[in-house]
């Protein structure tokens, strides 16, 4: 979910005068050039990686491989900066959890390395654009790979079908483990691990695989309505499954790995409550 809320971008770029003699062009058209070659583990699809990054939309294709972070004229085009937020990102490489088109450019980096990646529009968000990113806009990323390791694979839990109940809103849920203490109240801060699946069993997100728990304030709209309601049925240390109808999830929005009007399945464990 988090990773879904963080990843926004797209691009239209002329390669002619912008080539770097040390750059590599992939079959897709994505280009990259290493600023610094790391000495740690090499990142491959399926690995859990942690990155710091900056991202720009490309309006001017000159000096594509120079350091735009020190160019004051490029500040207006900056669309993401994990350094400024002091918030590195974890993701499982190859699962389309980051900016569309970026992950193939990260494959092969070594921990400690830095790389510039140029993503043409047709590999990113094309004519649709995404959020504040205009249609047909190319993207430049500067990526620092801080770590890479083999990822844990999260699987859907086996749940006794007789445990399920349905709330008045239509949320279907099963408490698998009760936990301790009081039910989680509105405006409490909950820290959870979760994995999310479509009805066909395909996984679209997992904090377990990212090795990164998720913290939010309950009942104030920081998460989808099905979560705000479901977590208030749980206690610290508890485990539950939520089957969330689309009207309590993302409705008719198309989020890539989550198609419009999707019913979602979440396996949730409450780690802490404050």
Bridge partners (DSSP) of residue 222 are none
Whole-angstrom distance, CA of residue 118 vs CA of residue 260:
29
How many Cα atoms are found within 13 Å in the side-chain-facing hemisphere of 223? 25
Phi, psi of 260 (to 5 degrees): -60, 145
228 classed as catalytic: no
204 classed as catalytic: yes
Catalytic site residue from 9, 32, 53, 194: 194
173 classed as catalytic: no
Catalytic site residue from 250, 258, 265, 267: 250
Catalytic site residue from 32, 65, 216, 266: 266
The distance in angstroms from the start CA to the end CA of the chain is: 21
- E strand segments, the chain: 24-25, 31-36, 47-58, 78-81, 89-92, 114-119, 138-150, 164-166, 172-177, 189-198, 203-206, 214-217, 239-244, 264-273
Under 8 Å between Cβ of 52 and 82: yes
250 classed as catalytic: yes
65 classed as catalytic: no
Catalytic site residue from 51, 58, 119, 224: 224
125 classed as catalytic: no
Catalytic site residue from 47, 205, 228, 267: 205
Residues marked active site are found at 194, 204-205, 224, 250, 266
């Amino acid at each position: 979910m988090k990773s879904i809320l963080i990843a926004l971008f797209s691009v239209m770029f002329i390669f002619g005068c912008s080539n770097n003699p040390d750059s590599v062009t992939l079959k897709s058209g994505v280009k990259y050039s290493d600023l610094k070659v790391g000495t740690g583990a090499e990142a491959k699809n399926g690995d859990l990686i942690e990155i710091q990054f900056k991202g720009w939309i490309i309006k001017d294709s000159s000096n594509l491989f120079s350091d735009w972070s020190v160019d004051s004229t490029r500040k207006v085009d900056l669309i993401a900066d994990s350094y400024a937020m002091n918030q590195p990102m974890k993701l499982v490489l190859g699962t389309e959890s980051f900016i569309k088109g970026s992950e193939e450019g990260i494959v092969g980096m070594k921990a400690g390395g830095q790389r510039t990646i140029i993503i043409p529009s047709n590999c990113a968000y094309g004519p649709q654009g995404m959020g504040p990113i205009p249609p047909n806009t190319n993207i430049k990323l500067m990526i620092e790979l801080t770590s890479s390791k083999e990822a844990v694979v999260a699987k859907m839990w086996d749940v006794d079908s007789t445990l399920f109940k349905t709330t008045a809103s239509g949320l279907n849920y099963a408490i698998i483990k009760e936990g301790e203490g009081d039910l989680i109240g509105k405006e409490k801060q909950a820290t959870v691990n979760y994995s999310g699946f479509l009805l066909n069993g395909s996984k679209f997100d997992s904090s377990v695989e990212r090795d990164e728990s998720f913290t939010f304030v309950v009942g104030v709209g920081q998460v989808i309505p099905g979560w705000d309601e479901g977590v208030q049925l749980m206690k610290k240390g508890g485990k539950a499954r939520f089957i969330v109808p689309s009207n309590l999830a993302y409705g008719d929005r198309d989020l890539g790995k989550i198609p419009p009007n999707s019913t979602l399945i979440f396996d949730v464990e409450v780690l802490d409550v404050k």
